[in-house]
Chain A
């Protein structure tokens, strides 16, 4: 799988998001666990839903790399492509471990 690793591990976010980000990342780790369970059970709908939801939320927060992984996951689940889903989940885990956040200075 290529793409997210190259462009998305370093993220610059507005300082005002700082209080929200820990919960966001924690929830994405929980989502990863749910997705792995869903893959084990061949639950493609749940996988697609997780990908779909994360695409929207990650985009809005500014986690571009995770957004791209989530979009790929949604499509892979739609195609019931087990190998590609697994690759997406691996990339997802790596992203959460390696993402580096730089908070921009507050406006005021």
Chain B
């Protein structure tokens, strides 16, 4: 098991969402649980809790029963309507039998009476999460253990990658720069029967054409000026394993033809050699470019495109999987904490909120840089919201693609409509110039629940 594997499992298994409208009790229990090693998110409001659950996917929710407006029993019911197996623990100041019966009927994991001792609560949660952990392990397995995600979008990609890993099929990974294509390629290699063989990676866009040819296929001594010794190419170096061709869209056309021949004939001929050498390599390629359009524009060979694109996997950008932001932040922070053992730092709750709300950056690498910057510049153990805000302000801006900008606008527009109409779908659809069916499809696409807006209004 690799280090990231441990972190992923720990993070997913230990995240607790605390809900209580008493800020003092909330702060105290958050402290208890953080000290016990849980990753704790807090909110004083049950409706906000529902929104957080959709985004952060906690392993367990701990809520007070008596809260103004939206009580814990109603929250329990709504959580289980969305996710029937999400564990929910209720805390109550007055253990009334009807409430306990109702909670049991709604599937509460534990119904505990305040005041509760810290150790008792921690033990209760650890027991619940042990059960939950065994369920997750059955469904998840160990594939892609180093990939940090919680979003449904990434879950789908990783699941497809897991399936394809077992075969020698050629895979094409697409997605914006910094979305984790190489990490996924490595996971496919490690999940494949070739795992014991080498994983060799090359960025085709970073190397000049003549050098790239030599790097990939090798050359004989004296094959060209400066070739003072024989050089083994990466195809041969990856024999028995996987060759990852990153930024394949940047490969010059002349080399594309040579690559196609290798993929068709399973042999390479080094530059200057008279004989070909058989190779046993699985090829995974990746690009941030739209190869199909490049084929239409004759910037990329169509026959090579179809040879590489046997199984396409598209990685979503971070802005389309906001649920993954906090798990990634925790992962990067934990790694820094381990590296700098003298000082363990944490993001303050409002700093985490700021990160989550900050329409965040285009890619994971930027997020990693942001976490590192905050870590380095933070004077104390707690990284403040102000510091996060400052780092966000100074981040190099991303120009979104037209599609991304359209999606963002559509979501904002729908949110505004739902707020204006207090969740009345008929009115909202009429204002948008759509029929109800179309409008519901749009809401589904953006994961918006009109009911939430009706309740907010009431």
Contacts and interface: CB of A to CB of B under 8 A. Distances in A.
A44 B66 CA distance: 17
A12 interface: no
A17 B29 CA distance: 11
A52 to B, nearest CB: 5
A53 interface: yes
A60 B35 contact: no
B72 to A, nearest CB: 13
Contacts of B115: 55-56, 59-60
Contact of A61 (B23, B24, B35): B24
A27 B31 CA distance: 18
Given A56-B115, A60-B115, A60-B116, A24 B24 contact: yes
Given A27-B24, A60-B114, A61-B24, A16 B31 contact: yes
Given A56-B93, A60-B114, A60-B115, A20 B25 contact: no
Please classify how large the interface on chain B is, using the bins under 10, 10 to 19, 20 to 34, 35 or more: 10 to 19
Interface in A1-56: 16-17, 20, 23-24, 27, 52-53, 55-56
A20 B93 contact: no
Nearest to A49: B66
A90 interface: no
A98 interface: no
A16 B24 CA distance: 14
Q: Is the interface of A mostly helix, strand, loop or mixed?
A: helix
A98 to B, nearest CB: 20
A59 B22 CA distance: 14
B35 A16 contact: yes
Interface string B2-30: 00000000000000000000111101110
A57 interface: yes
24 contacts: A16-B31, A16-B35, A17-B31, A20-B24, A20-B27, A23-B23, A23-B27, A52-B66, A52-B93, A52-B94, A53-B22, A53-B93, A55-B115, A56-B22, A56-B25, A56-B93, A56-B115, A57-B25, A57-B28, A59-B114, A60-B25, A60-B114, A60-B115, A60-B116
A106 B32 CA distance: 14
Contacts of B93: 52-53, 55-56
B69 to A, nearest CB: 14
A10 B241 CA distance: 70
B28 A20 contact: yes
Contacts of B35: 16
Interface string B100-116: 00000000000000111
A24 B2 CA distance: 43
Nearest to A61: B28
Interface of A: 16-17, 20, 23-24, 27, 52-53, 55-57, 59-61
Contacts of A61: 24, 28
Contact of B22 (A16, A20, A57): A57
Q: Which of A27, A53, A56, A61 has the most CB of B within 10 A?
A: A56
Nearest to A58: B115
A61 B117 CA distance: 10
B120 to A, nearest CB: 11
A55 B66 CA distance: 14
A20 B31 contact: yes
A47 to B, nearest CB: 15
B260 to A, nearest CB: 62
B349 to A, nearest CB: 13
Contacts of B94: 52
B28 A60 contact: yes
Q: Which of A20, A24, A57, A61 has the most CB of B within 10 A?
A: A57
A23 B94 CA distance: 25
Interface string B129-144: 0000000000000000
A66 to B, nearest CB: 12
A55 B22 CA distance: 12
Given A53-B93, A56-B114, A59-B115, A23 B24 contact: yes
A1 B134 CA distance: 54
Can you list the 3 inter-chain pairs with the closest CB atoms, starting with the nearest?
A59-B115, A56-B114, A56-B93
Contacts of A55: 93, 115
Interface string B53-87: 00000000000001000000000000000000000
Contacts of A17: 28, 31
A16 B35 CA distance: 10
A60 B116 CA distance: 7
B436 to A, nearest CB: 42
Contacts of B29: 60
A73 to B, nearest CB: 13
